[in-house]
Amino acid sequence: MTSKNKVIVKILGQEYTIVGEEPREFMQKVSNYVDDKMVEIASKNKKFSTAMIAVLTAVNIGDEYFKLLEEYEILKNENGRPIEELEKAKGLLESSTIEISKKDQEYDNLFKKYEELKESFNNIEMNYIDLKEVVNRLSYELNIKDNKLKKSEKIVEDLKNKLVQSEVKLVQTKKELQEFIEAFDNS
């Protein structure tokens, strides 16, 4: 059970006892506000009765209340918009996070492929260096053998020339021998 608070207030020079569940300070604040409004209205026209001042004060406070209520509804609606926008932003953030996660996975896969290709390239480069050394060694050996072949071809050519010269001499010698034999047989 809530306790009741009691406060004595003065409105338009008259004392009233107010009992309520609100704190005393709050009830005093409300009473002071009503008193200020009634004094304001009474000062504008001295001929108004207390009842008339009370009714006009109630109408003015009602007017303020409904204007504030309207402002409150407008503010409430305006405050609702940022919440809706926040929810949309959360949705976008969530979908962006998922997309970023996918892109991260794609990046990781591409990076792995890159690393594999880099390793393959390094292996190919090492094989290329090895093959280049083999080609250089074989090229050197081929040059040596080519030089030997050229020397051998020169020797063969020289021998062919000597053979031809020898055959020419042999033919001449045969001819001379034949002439000698014929000359000997004729003598």
Question: What is the pLDDT tens value at each position of the chain, 187 positions in all?
Answer: 578 999 999 999 999 999 999 999 999 999 999 999 999 999 998 899 999 999 999 999 999 999 999 999 988 888 777 778 888 899 999 999 999 999 999 999 999 999 999 999 999 999 999 999 999 999 999 999 999 999 999 999 999 999 999 999 999 999 998 888 888 887 7
- Cα dihedral 113, 115, 116, 119, rounded to 10, equals 160
3-state DSSP assignment of residue 48: coil
> Token pair of 3, please?
């306790």
How many other C-beta atoms are found inside a 10 Å radius of the C-beta of residue 55?
13
Structure confidence at residue 30 (pLDDT): 96
Which residues make Cβ contacts (< 8 Å) with residue 2, sequence separation at least 6? Answer: 21
CA distance 92 to 100: 12
Indicate the domain borders of the chain.
1-48
- Locus of tokens 């009370």: 54
Structure confidence at residue 1 (pLDDT): 59
Classified by CATH at the fold level, domain 1-48 comes out as Double Stranded RNA Binding Domain (3.30.160)
